[in-house]
Amino acid sequence: MCGIVGYVGQRPAVDVLLRGLRRLEYRGYDSAGVAFFRGSKIEIQKSEGKLENVEKLINQFPESAEARCGIGHTRWATHGKPTTQNAHPHRTGHVVLVHNGIIENYQEIKRDLVHRGHQPVSETDSELFGFLVFEKMESGKSLKTAVAESFREVTGACSVVVMSEKEPGTVVGVRNGSPLVAAVDPKGGVILASDAQPLLEYTREVVFLEHGDLVLGTSSGISFSDLKTGATVSRSTSVLDWSPAALDKQGYDHYMLKEIFEQPSAMVDTLNGLLDRASAESFPLAAQPAVELLNTAERIVIVACGTAWHASLMGKYWLEKWARVPVSVELASEFRYRDPAIDKRTLVIGVSQSGETADTLAVITELRKKGFPTIAVTNTRGSTLAREAQAAVFTNAGPEIGVAATKTFTVQMLTLLCFAAFLGKRRGQSADADEIFSQTLRLPHLLSGYLDVRSPLRQAIRETAKKLLNLRGFFFIGRGYCFPLALEAALKLKEIAYVHAEGYAAGELKHGPIAMIDQDIAVIVLAPNDAWREKTFSNLEEVKARGAQVLGIGNPRDESLRKVSHFWIPLPEMEIHESLIPFVLTPVIQLLSYEFAVLKGTDIDKPRNLAKSVTVE
């Protein structure tokens, strides 16, 4: 996902920018660039590929070491391919900017700009913002006013940092969704970035901008104002007094929390590895041995354990719907001792974060030896599973330290979604593929907009956990995509909060477990706006009538769900294809179990009796 750094002060700006961008590399990117003042002119150097390419370009400008003001960016392509032309910074006349996030109304803005005689040169939504600022500055407005007024014309969650040759030595940043952090450089000046990492080298005192904040930095100081009203606002400084261990956790109290918040970047890295990002196709799987195996599969068996099994169940919904291929999802520990009726046209996929889970490994090893086509989907390069399977596909979530699987669940789902959509396109069954693909590319941005430690969503989850804490038991129910999520939510709650929880297909409750329902039982109803919502709603009424404490989780505008539920967690507002809703719901159920565990005081990252990698059967 895109990373931003901006600097003005006494230090060599290009050095600050490049060091900062290095610290943001973990977010995933496919092009990069920096812009810096040479006298009163702004020089831009950018390139597709890695930051090294930009460094080589910069090395041709020894005078870049003199620059004291600049902005830098790592881009992960959503609108337009990962080319140098689409890389940031973008220039419009004297205005130069970097942008992180999505401008949702970019098509209308582009149409109006072209109508007014402008010619954008990139395929990005970001460049358009520069035209808006440029026009306003040309009519005599200051950079700050022009940025604020331009922002009022765009919709979508994003941040920008902008400079202009008309105001050398000033950087203006706005946060309206995607995070932006600012700090005063103790040597004089201001540094801005997408997260605190690039700032920590210079100071521990940082300001996390709020949504709708504008920050103006010069070598003599920093000021904040409200984007809408223009009024000056004061923002308190957080002192990131992080020990080396906390620094490793980047300030989060637990690895699990950090890993929940890392899901957007884990998605970016996974998509970068899976897809051919230069292709104009939707869901273009990069050429690799697994693709041929997928293409020829007449039937698919997925084997996995625990959370990976839940991700696989989700994969079945997409694979069957789009690729029209029969899929069975098997618990590896059961499958390995069965005598399953499968033939060599059946592709066997083993899904495992660690790639070392004994049962999953045993199935793949044995079937591969018998000549079945096998694919490993794993987060661990060099793992035994990756070596044993005929082909390996890697989920690039980065190391997951918390025993509870969080970000690896998301990227396992994402990988299976890409398999399903890719096959669906090949087999002519996926009518919405283009739309789903463009939304998939935007998902990490959308999720990072609401996955914020201080977000109202997190507060709502925490407050709800407090109210439910002392109940006797918990049922998570859902239909369709929400069924595997219900299973995963219950597993998370059990493993880290040590409370009894079960996940059920909402329609199954009345076949037995409903007998347990009374006022000491919570039923957590996953009912987003999807094809199954009405049916799930009826199941909610059944348990409510029997006294259950009902927590509804659904669309923020679902008034009837809100009213009928005793407790209510609205999902973040976003227009999204229903097949992608699991990615929005996942962090919510993870955070719910996390908050329970915090209240219970359990050992969240190392829950009792559990191991991260289960290498025994």
Cβ-based nearer residue to ligand M6R, 256 or 441: 256
User: 126 vs 307, which CB is nearer to ligand M6R?
Assistant: 307
Query: 328-346 b/e with 16+ CB inside 10 Å = b?
Result: ebbbbbebbeeeeeeeeeb
**Contact with ligand M6R (CB under 6 A) among 354, 410, 448, 593:** 354
Does 602 sit near ligand M6R (CB under 6 A)?
A: no
Which stretch in 69-77, 124-132, 198-206, 300-308 sits in contact with ligand M6R by CB under 6 A? Answer: 300-308
Please give the residue whose beta carbon sits closest to ligand M6R in the complex. 306
Minimum distance of ligand M6R from residue 610's CB (angstroms): 6
Report the nearest approach of ligand M6R to the CB of residue 314 (Å).
14
In the complex with ligand M6R, the residue whose CB is nearer, 29 or 596, is: 596
Q: How far is the CB of 490 from ligand M6R (least distance, A)?
A: 11
Three-state DSSP class for residue 387: helix
Q: Which is nearer to ligand M6R, 195 or 495 (CB)?
A: 495
Residues 355 to 414 in contact with ligand M6R, rule: CB under 6 A: 357, 360, 403-405
Scanning 162-296, the segments in alpha helix (DSSP H) are 244-248, 255-261, 263-274, 289-296
Task: Identify the residue among 162, 206, 215, 308 touching ligand M6R (CB under 6 A).
Answer: 308
Site residues for ligand M6R, 221-240, by CB under 6 A, read none
Q: Which of 159, 265, 307, 439 binds ligand M6R (CB under 6 A)?
A: 307
CB nearer to ligand M6R: pick between 305 and 580: 305
CB closer to ligand M6R, 191 vs 490: 490
CB of 407 to ligand M6R, least distance (A): 11
The least distance separating ligand M6R from the CB of residue 255, rounded to whole angstroms, comes to: 12
| Binding flag, residue 45, ligand M6R (CB under 6 A) | no
Residues 6 or more apart from 18 whose CB is under 8 A from it? Answer: 34, 51, 54, 55, 58, 72
Contacts of 382 (CB under 8 A, 6+ apart): none
User: Encoding tokens for residue 23?
Assistant: 């610290």
Element (H, E) at 226: strand 221-226
- 47 versus 312: smaller Cβ distance to ligand M6R: 312
88 vs 316, which CB is nearer to ligand M6R?
316
Helix axes 407-426, 581-600, angle to 10 degrees: 170
Query: Based on CB atoms, which residue is closest to ligand M6R, 405 or 486?
Result: 405
Measure the CA–CA gap between 477 and 550, rounded to whole angstroms.
11
Q: Among 85, 145, 429, 613, indicate the residue that binds ligand M6R (CB under 6 A).
A: 613
Does residue number 352 form part of the binding site for ligand M6R (CB under 6 A)? yes
x/- site string to ligand M6R, residues 491 to 530, per CB under 6 A?
----x-----------------------------------
Reduced to 3 states (helix: H, G, I; strand: E, B; else coil), residue 341 is coil
Q: Is 100 in the site for ligand M6R (CB under 6 A)?
A: no
Instruction: Report how far residue 380's alpha carbon sits from residue 252's, in angstroms, rounded to the nearest whole number.
Output: 24
Span near ligand M6R by CB under 6 A; candidates 10-18, 98-106, 436-444, 608-616? 608-616
Q: Which residues contact 79 (CB under 8 A, 6 or more apart)?
A: 102, 106, 123, 124, 125, 126
Q: Does 135 bind ligand M6R (CB under 6 A)?
A: no
The CB-of-484 to ligand M6R minimum distance in angstroms stands at 13
Pairing of strands 391-394, 213-218: unpaired
Count the alpha carbons within 13 Å of 125 in the hemisphere toward its beta carbon. 23
- Per DSSP, what are the bridge partners of residue 330? 303
What is the 3 state secondary structure string of 53-87? HHHHHHHCCHHHHHCCEEEEEEECCCCCCCCCCCC
Question: Which residues form the catalytic set?
Answer: 2, 612
Contacts of 476 (CB under 8 A, 6+ apart): 485, 486, 487, 489, 490, 493, 501, 502, 503, 504, 524, 526, 589
- Residue 496, token pair as written in the block: 């880290």
Residue in 97, 162, 181, 305 binding ligand M6R, rule: CB under 6 A: 305
Whole-number Å distance between alpha carbons of 213 and 174: 6
Instruction: Tell me how far, at minimum, the Cβ of 258 lies from ligand M6R, in Å.
Output: 15
For residue 368 the two structure tokens come to: 């591969």
The minimum distance between CB 383 and ligand M6R, in angstroms, equals 9
Stretch that binds ligand M6R, among 48-56, 223-231, 321-329, 347-355 (CB under 6 A): 347-355
Nearer to ligand M6R, 250 or 353 (CB): 353
Cα(235)–Cα(253) distance, rounded to whole angstroms? Answer: 23
Which amino acid does the sequence have at 193?
A
Distance (Å, rounded) from C-alpha 335 to C-alpha 181?
49
The minimum distance between CB 609 and ligand M6R, in angstroms, equals: 11
Number of residues binding to ligand M6R, judged by CB under 6 A: 16
Is residue 614 part of the contact set for ligand M6R (CB under 6 A)? yes
Query: Is residue 312 within the footprint of ligand M6R (CB under 6 A)?
Result: no
Q: What is the C-alpha to C-alpha distance for residues 251 and 238, in angstroms, rounded to an integer?
A: 11
Under DSSP, is residue 364 helix (H, G, I), strand (E, B) or coil? helix
Q: Is 593 in the site for ligand M6R (CB under 6 A)?
A: no
Provide, rounded to whole angstroms, the least separation between the CB of residue 414 and ligand M6R: 15
Dihedral sign of CA atoms 87, 88, 89, 91 in order: positive
Site track for ligand M6R across 443-482, x = CB under 6 A? ----------------------------------------
Minimum separation from the CB atom of position 387 to ligand M6R (A): 15
- Per-residue exposure over 139-149, b if at least 16 CB sit within 10 Å of its own CB, e if not: eebbbbbbbbb
263 contributes a contact to ligand M6R by CB under 6 A: no
Residues near ligand M6R, by CB under 6 A = 305-308, 352-354, 357, 360, 403-405, 495, 610, 613-614
